[in-house]
Amino acid sequence: MSTLDKILSAGRRARDASGALLGQNWGKSGWKASGRALAAGEVPQRIIPGPPPSAAGDEESLDVWGFKDTGFSIDARGVVKLTGTRYELCGEELPNLVPWIEDVMAIQIEPRDVHESAYPVKIPEPIRNAAFQDAIRTFLAEDQLTDAPQIRLRHGHGHTQEEMYAIKYGQVKRVPDLVVYPSEEEHVIRMVELAKEHGCCLIPYGGGTNVTDALKCPADEKRTIVSVDMRRMNRVLWIDPANRIACIQSGAVGRHIAKQLADYGFTMGHEPDSIEFSTLGGWIATHASGMKKNKYGNIEDIVQDFNAVTSDGLLARHDINPREAVGADPRRFMFGSEGNLGIITQAIVKLFPLPEVQRYGSVLFPDFRSGVAFMYDLQQEGTPPASVRLVDNIQFQFSMALKPAKTGIAVQKSRLEKLFVTKVKGFDPEKMVACTLVFEGPDAEVSNQEDTVYRLATRHGGMKAGGENGRKGYQLTFGIAYIRDFVMKHYVIAESFETSVPWSKAIQLCDNVKRRVNKEHAAAVLPGRPFITCRVTQVYQTGVCIYFYLAFSYKGVKDPSHAFAQIELAARDEILQSGGSLSHHHGVGKLRKKFLPQIMSDAALSWNARTKQAVDPDNIFGVRNQQMADEMSFDVPVAPAANSKTDSDRAANSTAAKAKTAVKAKAMRKPAAKKTTSKAPARKNPARKKASPKSSPAN
Ligand SMILES: Cc1cc2nc3c(=O)[nH]c(=O)nc-3n(C[C@H](O)[C@H](O)[C@H](O)COP(=O)(O)OP(=O)(O)OC[C@H]3O[C@@H](n4cnc5c(N)ncnc54)[C@H](O)[C@@H]3O)c2cc1C
């Protein structure tokens, strides 16, 4: 059972207990949403839950992903294990993993050959602003601010490969100078006022899980950079059971939100794979998406309202109503604002009753195409279950390689199953793929969905593979998040990236990206073969979200992180050329900002830049994500064009990209700007044509 499953079933038990406690129309699915009770005025008052669950024993690692007590290790035999007890995989011997990786990537992994981490690499000295620090001490306690080097380092990065490589093997140019922990909205308001008065730069910090360099500090920022860590603003302030909404502080982490709402029979239904560590504020600021969005929606569907402290003051509303037409709503700008515009302090979210039943499912398909065809029909003809995911053949094999060692009867059973699938059903092990499903809702609705799923699966040659395999597939999600930092020690560098794309272009996009990665890997003469695999993680009426994993061996490679960035940028370029979006849910940050001119018109970019200039003229929120702030302070490698081979081609592309940045910087510059150091000439960007007119999803 996963941590979340445990939370939800404990929640169901607690809900019944709280029903008895609250004594008002509480039943098996939370407060009984009875119209009669509502009309009679018998609705429960707002509930004020207690403090969030204790985080004692949940210490997080500073140099790698996840909880400190959990991590992959390898013994002298090459057998891999996940330490700790948090996940089902923990403690199991995984003898097939390394041999499988070696085979797929055409490399050798020698257990004793470890790239020793130099964490923490040299941490820059803080730039102090004594007047600001003295002023915030008048309302913050001594334990609400720190300039401890490793804490500052942790607040200056998320989880991109480039950042995780840099803190262990590279160098870090700039990190926050001070970390503060406000515990109420008033602290944030006063902090912003003081930052304006004393000339500081503020960067909001949620869980630090972003994968877009969104927390990376601009290298040339001369002001004191203050990381505003929201972890102490972590309470569910109230739950309104009758109207199914809750008000939650923005620093609350997903796993605590899930637990507290489940105690009262509710869920907000937002379950990103990072739910254990990411926060409500971070979700809004990055435009996040959870695995069960089919049933509950993406973050923008779930969040009804929020407060945000900006340079201009507090964005807030007096009432919260189901839908309004009140003109342009400035708070919409905060979705995807990535720390550029202000600090979200609390949000009101929709609630759903905990599902009456939750069941898993899985289906095998002969190949990726038939799997996509099935998903298309499911989306068009039925109501897709809460989650439906399709992994390609490599990812399917990967999940097999992660299976614990079998003994006794289990060996025989597994052999027979394999024989049945390959010999009787005729599936090719090198082509077959798997689809995993989570059904949630009332029993009748779930049964109905199951009927539709398995009927449509048969139409596409699918074979039912059981609920247990489905459950295990989802179970792996949280465990395998630890694998990237583990393989990095063994000279394998890895990263995931995602896109959304119309149905009609989905299969082609996957093929194109895989082909391009292989081509770039060969051109760069890197060791072995690249690991490039994808899965379809979300379905929409109009298309899908596709998630890629990319890895390669960096043994003997001079600048692995740079080599990786080049291939990843090429892959992103291929995604855009194949009709995909710049991002489905990870966002832009600094990693993808150079692509913005390719996807937005001049006017659209200018609106963003001028909004930032108008609402934050002193650039207090100076994290410089996207192209909202002034000029970029450091170079991000630029993807070579699809067929450019020579160095001069690459240089030309790089110059063009710098020029694009300069154009944007100009749109943004204040009349009295102190610093304008653009080196490249400002000129119109021909690639901009792509942005309009909008191409039809059907072409
Ligand atoms: C293993 C793994 C799995 C992931 N799975 C998913 C997934 O399934 N779906 C998904 O959408 N993403 C996923 N992500 C990406 C990441 O978890 C999300 O982007 C998440 O929303 C970031 O939240 P955070 O609290 O960690 O924000 P941070 O990383 O701390 O910050 C991200 C950005 O938001 C800003 N910010 C943070 N808090 C606030 C605030 N209160 N007010 C204003 N700005 C703020 C920061 O300044 C920064 O620019 C995953 C990442 C990892 C490493």
Answer yes or no: is 496 within a domain. Answer: no
Domain containing 284 — which CATH number? 3.30.465.10
Output the pTM of the full model.
Answer: 0.89
Atom number, ligand 1, closest to the C-alpha of residue 279: 25
The active-site residue, picked from 165, 482, 547, 554, is 547
Of the three residues 353, 385, 410, the one that is the final residue of a domain is: 353
The answer to whether residue 547 is catalytic is: yes
- Name which residue sits closest to atom 11 of ligand 1, judged by CA: 288
Pairing label, strands 245-249, 343-350:
antiparallel
Q: Do 287 and 401 belong to one domain?
A: no
Answer yes or no: is 77 within a domain. Answer: no
Domain containing 144 — which CATH number? 3.30.43.10
Of the three residues 445, 480, 515, the one that is the final residue of a domain is: 480
Ligand 1 centroid to 143 CA: how many Å? 25
Ligand 1, CB within 6 Å, residue ranges: 158-159, 203-211, 214-215, 230, 250, 272-274, 278-279, 281-283, 285-286, 288-289, 338-339, 343-344, 481, 585-586, 623, 625
Answer yes or no: is 623 within a domain. Answer: no
For the residues 161-171, what does the mean pLDDT come to?
A: 97
Q: Do 324 and 237 belong to one domain?
A: yes
pLDDT band at 670 (very low <50, low <70, confident <90, very high): very low
Residue 603 has pLDDT above 50, yes or no: yes
One-letter amino acid at 332 equals R
Q: Do 370 and 476 belong to one domain?
A: yes
pLDDT band at 410 (very low <50, low <70, confident <90, very high): low
Pocket test for ligand 1, best of 226, 286, 302, 625 (most atoms within 8 A of CB): 286
Ligand 1 centroid to 303 CA: how many Å? 15
Answer yes or no: is 107 within a domain. Answer: no
**CA torsion sign, 332 to 334 to 338 to 341?**
positive
Q: Do 199 and 294 belong to one domain?
A: no
Ligand 1 centroid to 209 CA: how many Å? 5
Q: Do 250 and 309 belong to one domain?
A: yes
Answer yes or no: is 690 within a domain. Answer: no
Residue 697 has pLDDT above 50, yes or no: no
Mean pLDDT of the chain: 87
Q: Do 220 and 240 belong to one domain?
A: no
Ligand 1 centroid to 469 CA: how many Å? 29
Atom number, ligand 1, closest to the C-alpha of residue 338: 49
Q: Do 334 and 440 belong to one domain?
A: no
Pairing label, strands 266-267, 178-180:
unpaired
- Per-residue confidence (pLDDT) for residue 36, from 0 to 100: 85
Pocket test for ligand 1, best of 87, 187, 209 (most atoms within 8 A of CB): 209
Of the three residues 229, 262, 295, the one that is the final residue of a domain is: 229
Higher pLDDT, 382 or 236: 236
Residue 3 has pLDDT above 60, yes or no: no
- Name which residue sits closest to atom 27 of ligand 1, judged by CA: 282
- Per-residue confidence (pLDDT) for residue 208, from 0 to 100: 98
Residue 553 has pLDDT above 50, yes or no: yes
Answer yes or no: is 514 within a domain. Answer: no
Ligand 1 centroid to 285 CA: how many Å? 7
Of the CA atoms within 13 Å of residue 622, those in its CB half-sphere come to 27
- Name which residue sits closest to atom 28 of ligand 1, judged by CA: 208
pLDDT band at 420 (very low <50, low <70, confident <90, very high): confident
Pocket test for ligand 1, best of 188, 278, 438 (most atoms within 8 A of CB): 278
Residue 423 has pLDDT above 80, yes or no: no
Q: For the chain, how many structural domains are there in total?
A: 3
C-alpha pair distances (Å), 518 with each of 261, 420, 478: 46, 33, 28
Ligand 1 centroid to 591 CA: how many Å? 14
Ligand 1 centroid to 338 CA: how many Å? 9
Q: Do 191 and 259 belong to one domain?
A: no
Helix (H) or strand (E) holding 535: strand 531-539
Q: Do 149 and 259 belong to one domain?
A: no
- Name which residue sits closest to atom 21 of ligand 1, judged by CA: 283
For the residues 184-198, what does the mean pLDDT come to?
A: 98
Domain containing 376 — which CATH number? 3.30.70.3450
pLDDT tens digits along 251-280: 999 999 999 999 999 999 999 999 999 999
Q: Do 239 and 318 belong to one domain?
A: yes
pLDDT tens digits along 210-245: 999 999 999 999 999 999 999 999 999 999 999 999
Answer yes or no: is 157 within a domain. Answer: yes
- Per-residue confidence (pLDDT) for residue 668, from 0 to 100: 35
- Name which residue sits closest to atom 18 of ligand 1, judged by CA: 210
The residue whose two tokens read 């150091």 is 677
pLDDT tens digits along 437-473: 999 999 999 999 999 999 999 999 999 999 999 999 9
Pocket test for ligand 1, best of 65, 155, 210 (most atoms within 8 A of CB): 210
One-letter amino acid at 38 equals L
Q: How far apart are CA 154 and CA 176, in angstroms?
A: 9
pLDDT tens digits along 485-515: 999 999 999 999 999 999 999 999 999 999 9
How many angstroms separate the most distant Cα atoms in the chain?
Answer: 77
For the residues 623-646, what does the mean pLDDT come to?
A: 52
Q: How far apart are CA 620 and CA 203, in angstroms?
A: 9
Answer yes or no: is 155 within a domain. Answer: yes
Give me the domain span that covers residue 261: 3-45+232-353
- Per-residue confidence (pLDDT) for residue 644, from 0 to 100: 38
Q: Do 375 and 471 belong to one domain?
A: yes
Atom number, ligand 1, closest to the C-alpha of residue 251: 41
For the residues 605-629, what does the mean pLDDT come to?
A: 91
Q: Do 373 and 451 belong to one domain?
A: yes
Q: How far apart are CA 540 and CA 375, in angstroms?
A: 10
The highest-confidence range among 33-37, 320-324, 394-398, by mean pLDDT, is 394-398
Q: Which of 478, 528, 418 is nearest to 254 (CA)?
A: 478
**Residue count (the chain):** 699
One-letter amino acid at 76 equals A
